[in-house]
Amino acid sequence: MKIPFLLATVLCTAASLQGGIITEPTRTFVVGSDIADLQNPPVNFLQTISDSSILSITQVQVGLNLVGRDGGGFASEMFVSLNKDLSLTSILVNRVGVSATDSVGQSYDGWNVTLSDLAGSDLHAAIQETGLLTGTYQPDGRTDPTSASRPELLNIFNGGTGNGDWRLSVGDLDLGGTMRLVSWSLTLTGDIAAVPEPSTLAAGLVVLGLMGATWWRRSRGANQ
């Protein structure tokens, strides 16, 4: 005996809502802009994404190439954040090395790094004598550079869509070396279908089961 067409269609639709996790190709944005000393408020660099298939973000990675100019940069002067749609904000860099016992922080010349919540090391605690810091690190995440609390990591964007206005903000909070934003990038991972709440999906499947049972009984009775 065949399953009713409506029941089969709805079941297939419910299954398709599970979607699939994809990682989209990295989007790289070349800037080449100097950040002036005492640039506070930060300068905003806007990129609008309209071609993303992701409907529910599960991971964001950011590439940051921010380097010292002329006499070199001074890492602990810098503040960098990422905002989406003038709403959610992740803090990528916030006066690295500064702590309750160290008001100076790190003096290296900048970054050519990938920032990911899944990395093993915290960018704020990375030690570099001179030159550029390279590698993959967790973003700073601190609203207060002297705090151990990190409420604004990249997972703040999880559950949102890939499309929208993404703003990288870069500030220089003190006098000293000058930095140049060479480029930055976004790598988005997420589900390509909207994922229903588990309770909603479960309730729907219960209703579908009852519909199927009712149809079965009526069909069996009609054939007896």
pLDDT one-digit tens code per residue, 177-217? 889 999 999 999 999 986 555 554 455 444 445 555 554 45
Domain at 25, CATH number: 2.60.120.260
Same domain, 117 and 215: no
The mean pLDDT of the chain is 86
* pLDDT higher than threshold 60 for residue 167: yes
Task: From 80, 28, 32, 45, select the one nearest 187 (Cα to Cα).
Answer: 28
What DSSP string runs through 144-176? STT-S----SGGGGTTS-S-EEEEEEEEE-SSS
pLDDT one-digit tens code per residue, 74-131? 999 999 999 999 999 999 999 999 999 999 999 999 999 999 999 999 999 999 989 9
Same domain, 163 and 176: yes
Strand, helix or coil for residue 117:
coil
pLDDT, position 131: 92
What does the block give as tokens for 23? 């990682």
With bands split at pLDDT 50, 70 and 90, how would you rate the model's confidence at 72? confident
Domain that residue 223 falls in:
1-17+197-224
The Cβ of residue 77 has, within 10 Å, a number of other Cβ atoms equal to 26
Same domain, 126 and 28: yes
Mean pLDDT of the region 156-183: 95
Euclidean distance between CA atoms 129 and 109, whole angstroms: 9
Euclidean distance between CA atoms 138 and 67, whole angstroms: 19
Euclidean distance between CA atoms 75 and 82, whole angstroms: 18
Same domain, 96 and 157: yes
Same domain, 128 and 155: yes
Number of folded domains that form the chain:
2
Same domain, 109 and 149: yes
Task: From 145, 147, 143, 159, select the one nearest 56 (Cα to Cα).
Answer: 159
* pLDDT higher than threshold 60 for residue 136: yes
Same domain, 112 and 221: no
pLDDT, position 70: 76
pLDDT, position 177: 80
Same domain, 104 and 203: no
Q: Torsions phi, psi of 163, nearest 5?
A: -75, 150
Strand, helix or coil for residue 202:
helix
Same domain, 125 and 42: yes
Same domain, 12 and 31: no
Same domain, 41 and 106: yes
**CA of 69: how far to CAs of 89, 138, 186, in Å?**
27, 25, 24
Half-sphere exposure of residue 129: CA atoms within 13 angstroms, side-chain side: 0
Same domain, 1 and 37: no
CA 74: distance to chain centroid? 26
Look up tokens 């029941």; give the residue: 7
With bands split at pLDDT 50, 70 and 90, how would you rate the model's confidence at 219? low
What does the block give as tokens for 142? 């601190």
